[in-house]
Amino acid sequence: MALKSPCIDVCAFDGKTALCIGCVRTREEIRGWKKMTDHRRHQILNDRPRRQAKVNQAALMAARED
């Protein structure tokens, strides 16, 4: 059974990381999700905590620059 998309309908991309701030995937990953193997989907989903930390760090850095 195919893994569901992690999309939460918050489609806005972080300029520093190029990751969606909602699902923490790249544009390419979002576009290709339906054609990906479950193995590749698992890799992306398992990497979400690291990616989320990266987006959070970028947001903190941007806030400090303001």
CB atoms within 10 A of CB 49: 10
CB atoms within 10 A of CB 23: 22
Give the global pTM.
Answer: 0.86
pLDDT at 64: 86
Between CA 18 and CA 64 the distance in angstroms is 19
Confidence of residue 30 (pLDDT cuts 50, 70, 90): very high
Between CA 16 and CA 57 the distance in angstroms is 10
pLDDT at 1: 66
